[in-house]
Structure 1
Amino acid sequence: MAKTVIYVLDEGYIEFAVEKIHGKLKKLLEEKERIYVVLAGGKTPLPVYERLADLNLPWNRIHFFLSDERYVPLDSDQSNFKNINGVLFSRIEVPSENIHFVDTSLPVEKACERYEMEIRTAGQFDLSILGMGPDGHVASIFDPKTGKIERAVTFTPPSGDPMVPRITMTFRALNSSRYVLFLIRGKEKKNRLADILKGVPLSASFVKGREKTVWFVEE
């Protein structure tokens, strides 16, 4: 039966999360030759990714996927790919073919189709590192109905901050993950986690790891 674990930390939040993620990646790499990891966009995970880049791992054996992308040029400061690339991908020795992202230079439908095909190559994900918005959204799933469609990838109209169109993995894709780790910081997000624990059907409540779901919460 899948487990849920919550860590509430007064200090050392980033260091603790990095230590746990690093340990999980090493364990997964002992089990398999190649692993598939989902990374969330947004600001909260970036310091964690930056610390991970300093660690010694066989990065060539890890395939990375982005949980969602803002439908903006990839060189835009609003691009999740650009921001993650700056703190992680550009600083580690990982083959370009191991980095899977939404090609926002394509028309929306084509971009979704291509990314869905790439996700199928993974079969299932080993680890998903996700965030949660102050409204309880996960990836770019602002309305749970959006996440419940049968496809692995879908387009969402302008939402969130920044208010731009987005392309996102759905619950079907995210819930294929063996392990799901949520990184949340801030009072509003902590309140949304409390709502989820009470059974409120926010988008993030529909995402769970097949083996374990872990919440890292900064007090």
Structure 2
Amino acid sequence: MDLKIYKDKQEVANAFSSYFESLVKGKDIFHVALSGGSTPKVIFDILAENYSTKIDWNKIHFYWGDERCVPPTDDQSNYKMTVEHLFSKIDVPTGNIHRVLGENDPSAEAMRYANLLEINLDRVDDIPQFDLVVLGMGDDGHTASIFPHEINLWDAEDHCVVATHPESGQKRVSLNGKVINRAKEVAFLVTGAGKAEKVLSVLEKTEGFEAYPASLVQPETGKLIWFLDTDAASMINQDPA
């Protein structure tokens, strides 16, 4: 595991953007699963502004680690946020964008998306393999859309699962843990003081850490990198990068 700590969300976004460019460089094709949230929004802005001509977007295929079951025009849609902050500002083929159809029946869509991954990605032991999975972590320790109350979904047989938000009851389509841990690389983006307690628990395995889905992120390649700001890292003993 590689731990990177930066001053603030902006520095996290700059560092991740540089890391992303280096991963893509030299690849003929690159499959990435994106995350939603406020930190990716800043990253997408930086990628659009500073990397629109530095990265060959034709070879990158975009997917989502999870998506809310809402139409693509809904403000809660991770896809809509990515369009507004990245896709609308770079030259990427529409055929390279593989969105979760949040407006469709959740169970049927989870099955369709799982099939899409099987078709588009190389498989290792029958599990689709991304080049990179980008994850966030919630204040409750959830990641993708695997929440603590449904942690059993992590080991579900299906590559994609239907999850339920514990408070709103909103349905979401999410990758399962097997697909996440099969990725060649996994990157956590975690910022804000509200995440500090769970960051400490997951990284230092304090009592009860097993209840947090984020603690189950252990890619088989061993390539796991955490991008944290000082607020999120405030309870662990590390120096900024």
**Equivalence for 2:173:** 167
Amino acid at match of 1:128: V
TM-score of the two chains, using structure 1 as the length reference = 0.90
Determine the structure 1 residue equivalent to 2:151: 144
Q: 1:25 aligns with which of 21, 25, 28?
A: 21
Provide, for residues 60-81 of structure 1, a one-character-per-residue CA deviation record: whole Å limited to 9, x for no partner: 1000111111111110001111
Residues 44 and 183, structure 1, Cα contact 8 Å, conserved in 2: yes
Counterpart AA for 2:32 = V
CA contact (8 A) 2:13 2:40 kept: no
Note the C-alpha offset of 1:117: 1.4
Partners of 1:91 and 1:132 in 2: how far apart? 27
TM-aligned CA deviation for residue 29 of structure 1: 3.1
The answer to whether residue 182 in structure 2 is matched with residue 176 in structure 1 is yes
Q: List per-residue Cα deviations over 1:148-177 (Å, max 9, x = no partner).
A: 1121101012435x6521111111111121
- CA distance in structure 1 between the aligned counterparts of 2:165 and 2:155, rounded to whole angstroms: 19
1:122 aligned to 2:117? no
Instruction: Tell me what 2:126 maps to.
Output: none
Q: How does 1:1-219 map onto structure 2 within 5 Å? A: 4-11=1-8, 13-30=9-26, 32-54=27-49, 55=51, 56-120=54-118, 121-123=120-122, 124-142=129-147, 143-159=150-166, 163-199=169-205, 200-201=209-210, 202-209=212-219, 210-219=221-230
The alignment yields a C-alpha RMSD, in angstroms, of 1.8
One-letter amino acid of the counterpart of residue 50, structure 1: D
Structure 2 stretches lacking a partner, 5+ long: 123-128, 231-241
Aligned residues: 213
Q: Which amino acid aligns with 1:115?
A: Y
1:160-214, CA deviations, whole angstroms, 9 ceiling, x for partnerless residues? Answer: 5x65211111111111211111111112312101101232111011113324111
The structure in which a higher percent of residues are strand is 1
The residue identity in structure 1 corresponding to 2:47 is L
Q: Which one has the largest radius of gyration?
A: 2
**In the alignment, is the contact (CA less than 8 A) between 2:16 and 2:43 conserved in 1?**
no
Contact 1:190 1:217 in 2 (8 A): no
Q: What CA deviation, in whole Å up to 9, does each residue of 1:91-121 have, x standing for no partner?
A: 1111111111111232222211111112112
